[in-house]
Amino acid sequence: MTKKVIVLGEIRQGELRNVSFEAIAAAKKMADGGEVVGLLLGDNVTNFANEMICYGADRAVTVEHPNLQAYTPDAYSQAVIRVIEIEKPEGLIFGHTALGKDLSPRIAAKVKSGLISDAVDLENNSGEIIFTRPIYAGKAFEKRTIRGGLIFATIRPNNIAPLDKKESRTGEITSIDVDIKDLRTVIKEVVRKTTGGIDLSEAKIIVSGGRGVKSKEGFELLEELANLLGGAVGASRGACDAEYCDYSLQIGQTGKVVTPDLYIACGISGAIQHIAGMSNSKVIVAINKDPEANIFSIADYGIVGDLFEVVPLLIEEFKSVAV
234 binding ligand FAD? (CB under 6 A): no
State which residue, 13 or 215, has the beta carbon closest to ligand FAD: 215
Chosen residue from 273, 298, 315, 318 binding ligand FAD by CB under 6 A: 273
**Which residues in 235-264 contact ligand FAD (CB under 6 A)?**
236-239, 250, 252-255
218 binding ligand FAD? (CB under 6 A): no
Kindly list the strands in the beta sheet with 115-119, ordered across the sheet, starting from the edge strand earlier in the chain: 115-119, 151-155, 91-95, 4-9, 35-42, 59-64, 173-175
State which residue, 171 or 277, has the beta carbon closest to ligand FAD: 277
CB of 292 to ligand FAD, least distance (A): 9
The residue among 304, 57, 42 whose CA lies nearest residue 175 is: 42
Chosen residue from 71, 93, 274, 296 binding ligand FAD by CB under 6 A: 274
Q: Helix, strand or coil for residue 273?
A: helix
Q: What's the angle, vertex CA 289, arms to CA 136 and CA 199, rounded to 5?
A: 50
113 binding ligand FAD? (CB under 6 A): no
Give the number of residues in contact with ligand FAD, rule: CB under 6 A: 27
Chosen residue from 42, 91, 95, 277 binding ligand FAD by CB under 6 A: 277
**Which residue type does 84 have?**
I
CB of 229 to ligand FAD, least distance (A): 19
Structural contact between residues 11 and 40, judged by C-beta atoms closer than 8 angstroms = yes
CB of 221 to ligand FAD, least distance (A): 11
271 binding ligand FAD? (CB under 6 A): yes
Distance of CA 221 to the CA centre of its chain: 26
State which residue, 67 or 117, has the beta carbon closest to ligand FAD: 117
Burial class (CB in 10 A: 0-12, 13-18, 19+), 204: middle
For ligand FAD, which stretch binds (CB under 6 A), given 53-61, 92-100, 179-187, 269-277? 269-277
Chosen residue from 285, 293, 299, 314 binding ligand FAD by CB under 6 A: 293
State which residue, 308 or 318, has the beta carbon closest to ligand FAD: 308
Distance between CA atoms of residues 163 and 170, nearest Å: 15
Distance set, CA 306 to CA 119, 190, 222, 309 (Å): 37, 39, 13, 5
Closest chain position to ligand FAD (CB): 252
- Quickly count helices (H) and strands (E) in the chain: 8, 17
DSSP string covering 65-119, please?
-GGGSS--HHHHHHHHHHHHHHH--SEEEEESSHHHHHHHHHHHHHTT--EEEEE
Distance set, CA 214 to CA 59, 222, 267, 294 (Å): 51, 12, 9, 19
290 binding ligand FAD? (CB under 6 A): yes
**Which residues in 150-179 contact ligand FAD (CB under 6 A)?**
none
The residue among 69, 277, 83 whose CA lies nearest residue 183 is: 69
306 binding ligand FAD? (CB under 6 A): yes
138 binding ligand FAD? (CB under 6 A): no
CB of 81 to ligand FAD, least distance (A): 33
Structural contact between residues 52 and 36, judged by C-beta atoms closer than 8 angstroms = no
In the complex, the residues that contact ligand FAD under the rule CB under 6 A are 210-212, 236-239, 250, 252-255, 267-269, 271, 273-274, 277, 287-290, 293, 306-308
